[in-house]
Amino acid sequence: MNKQDIIQYGLSLPNTYEDQPFPDDYTSIVLKHCGTGKWFALIMEVQGKWYLNVKTDPLESEMLRKAYSYIIPAYHMNKEHWNTIILGDGIDEKIVCELIQESYELTLPRKGKKKI
């Protein structure tokens, strides 16, 4: 799975768009929710490797890191809520898609609290 595959998958989710997160950085891409602009995926090149940051359930973050050698604490993001997937040979594309989907869902706008 490469950068373009991830962008294509992310944009297949409802109401999403891609953007450039940093000035003068024309290689990094962030995938966002329309309306809120909240990030659910960040793709960037770090020391010649492609990194994908996704939001994960804090209760699962450490388990994912132990289960998959290519998942590490998030690069330059909150390590409790975000993980980095180092893209390359040997990654499980199904897991990557599931984690993008989970990140998308975790960053959806919250519905207002019901009044009692």
pLDDT, tens digit (0-9, with 9 covering 90-100), for 19-61: 998 888 889 999 999 989 999 999 999 999 999 999 999 999 9
**What percentage of the chain has pLDDT greater than the value 90?**
78
Show the domain range for 88.
3-106
Nearest C-alpha neighbor of 10 from the set 18, 21, 2, 19: 18
Q: Is residue 114 part of a domain?
A: no
CATH number of the domain that 43 lies in? 3.90.1150.30
Tokens standing for residue 96: 């990557």
pLDDT score of 76? 85
Nearest C-alpha neighbor of 16 from the set 34, 42, 28: 34
Q: What is the sign of the dihedral through the CA atoms of 30, 98, 107 and 70?
A: negative
Query: Does the pTM exceed 0.85?
Result: yes
Q: What phi and psi values does residue 11 have, to the nearest 5 degrees?
A: -75, -10
Q: Is residue 112 part of a domain?
A: no
pLDDT tier at 115 (50, 70, 90 boundaries)? low
pLDDT tier at 112 (50, 70, 90 boundaries)? low
Q: Domain count for the chain, please give it.
A: 1
| Residue showing tokens 């297949």 | 12
Q: How far apart are CA 30 and CA 10, in angstroms?
A: 10
Q: Helix or strand or coil: residue 16? A: strand
